[in-house]
Copies of this chain bind each other. A is one copy, B any other.
Amino acid sequence: MIRVLAFDVFGTVVDWRSSIIGELERFGNRQGVQRDWSSFADSWRAGYGPAMDLVRRGELPWTRLDDLHRRILDELLRDVEIQADEDDVDHLNRAWHRLAPWPDAVKGLHRLKERFTITTLSNGNVSLLTDMAKHAGLPWDCVLSAEIFGHYKPDPEAYLGCAQMLDVAPDEAMLVAAHPSDLRAARDAGLRTAYVDRPLEWGQPGRHRVAFESGEFDVVATDLHDLADRL
């Protein structure tokens, strides 16, 4: 019996790429500069895994995702030779607090919330996730984050901490994510798993999509409405 649905957020619930490209275009217009913002957005996102791994390996003390995003952003701005005011860069860095949901996300979450406790289980910090929920209208029952557990996914402590804090056994919690690696780590920690297909996460349909075996996850859904139907 599943009691808790724990959601990966970036890519699974919100369309980070379109949102970030839009914010970068507005930033560029304010600065009066033009760059390849799609490629910039992809690089920003690509820097997140390696930065987090520094924390996961203990080479960097605990650092919030906001601050990891900022380190990557500062480097990328140097690379493309843009100098901007601190306020402008800070506002841009908080673009991750203002991501737009996928079209099915808000209604799908409302449906799922009727039967389950729905929580974030994201590497985003609590203030990021809280701001995003207000901005996008995401009706979370609670906001859980790697920040609370002091461990970034895919460390098992994040998945187990979520189940423990919501007072359910690991197999009473289901991770919902668009990324097989996240789901595999959740499954290895004893959680149930639901894959949600987000073919447009990286722009062109299917770009960077990772294959998985049939039967690897408990549920495979096309979006959150389909997930609600299947559960």
Query: Which chain A residues have a beta carbon within 8 Å of chain B's beta carbons?
Result: 66, 117, 119, 125-127, 129-131, 133-134, 140-144, 147-148, 165-167
Is the pair B165, A147 in contact by a Cβ cutoff of 8 Å? yes
Is the pair B166, A127 in contact by a Cβ cutoff of 8 Å? yes
**23 A-B residue pairings within 8 Å (CB atoms):** A66-B167, A117-B130, A117-B131, A119-B130, A125-B165, A125-B167, A126-B142, A126-B144, A126-B166, A127-B165, A127-B166, A127-B167, A129-B142, A130-B141, A130-B142, A130-B166, A133-B142, A140-B142, A141-B143, A142-B142, A142-B143, A143-B143, A147-B165
Is the pair A117, B134 in contact by a Cβ cutoff of 8 Å? yes
Least CB distance, A141 to chain B, in whole angstroms: 5
CA distance A152 to B155 in the complex (A): 27
Is the pair A134, B141 in contact by a Cβ cutoff of 8 Å? yes
CA distance A143 to B118 in the complex (A): 12
A165 interface neighbour in B119, B126, B134, B167, Cβ under 8 Å = B126
CA distance A148 to B145 in the complex (A): 11
Is the pair A141, B148 in contact by a Cβ cutoff of 8 Å? no
Across the A-B interface, give the 7 residue pairs with the lowest CB-CB distance, nearest first.
Answer: A127-B167, A142-B143, A130-B142, A126-B165, A127-B166, A130-B141, A148-B148
Residue from A117, A119, A144, A165 having most chain B Cβ neighbours under 10 A: A165
Which residues of chain B are near A141, meaning CB under 8 Å?
Answer: 130, 133-134, 143
